[in-house]
Structure 1
Amino acid sequence: MDITQTIQQLKQEPGFAENVGMILAHNGVVRGWSRKDHSPVSSVEITSDLDRIEELRREYESREGIFRVIVEACQGKLQLGDDLLFIIVAGDIRENVKAVLAELLDRIKSEAVIKTEHPA
């Protein structure tokens, strides 16, 4: 996903200017160490439940003050620095937008993504 291009397209949607005061974007990338013990990682294998991600996206897009939620999850064997997960949340005020991004990110990671790390 090209975040800049996606945001520009989002701004063209009917109702955007009347309903959006904040856009937050998350761009998760493959890091070189394991979250659990900081051991070196050379790559990761990602399996995403795209149907579950879409269910979550719709659920959070229906929240008060949220105009649009866009999610793109990468899959397969990914190398250090590769993009893993994109989330864009557009909504009315920061309290609504921040909460949705944080909750949605945590739920996608815990409910819809399986990550296998390969040691360096």
Structure 2
Amino acid sequence: MVTLQAMIDDLKKRLDPATVGMFACHNGVVRATSRSGAPATALDIDCDRDAWDRVLADVRSRPGIAAVEAYLHTGRRHVGDDVLLVVVAGDIRENVFPVLEETVNRLKKEAVKKEEHLS
């Protein structure tokens, strides 16, 4: 099973510690309600892999960023299940936090396909 901690541990083994002063993470889960407030039971998740790869290639090139890794749990996901995991490693928070936010937003907009199942 892929976890944020496993992703961080892998990056710590691969990255030059001189370039990494922090890791920032996102762990998206299935909510019990839709954005409109309607009760939800599950999400069906799929991914446009070409768009996914394009987004990651772009954000990995940003100043101060040593690595960006992301994992998407696809298929049927139920309330409380993990969906999108993102780890950004970089030098300082002024570089890392904006890239984390942009990565999550762009992956969700450009690559992640989801269908909500409402109660």
TM class, shorter-chain normalised? over 0.9
Aligned to 2:96: 97
Q: 2:50 & 2:74 partners in 1: Cα distance?
A: 14
Q: Which runs of 5+ in 2 are unaligned?
A: none
Aligned to 1:18: 18
Query: What percent of counterpart residues are identical?
Result: 41
Aligned to 1:63: 62
Aligned to 1:7: 8
89-98 or 75-84: bigger deviation: 75-84
Count of equivalent residues: 118
Maintained 8 Å contact 2:4/2:86: no
Do structure 1's residue 83 and structure 2's residue 82 form an aligned pair? yes
Q: Which runs of 5+ in 1 are unaligned?
A: none
Secondary structure of 2:86 counterpart: strand
Tell me the TM-score normalised to structure 2 length: 0.94
Extract structure 1 runs of 4+ deviating beyond 6 A.
none
Write the letter of the residue equivalent to 2:10.
Answer: Q
Tell me the TM-score normalised to structure 1 length: 0.93
Q: 2:87 & 2:37 partners in 1: Cα distance?
A: 28
Q: 1:78 & 1:67 partners in 2: Cα distance?
A: 31
Write the letter of the residue equivalent to 1:68.
Answer: A
CA RMSD after TM alignment: 1.0
Q: Would the alpha carbon gap of residues 81 and 18 (structure 1) be closer, same or farther in structure 2, given more than 3 Å must change?
A: same
Secondary structure of 2:14 counterpart: coil
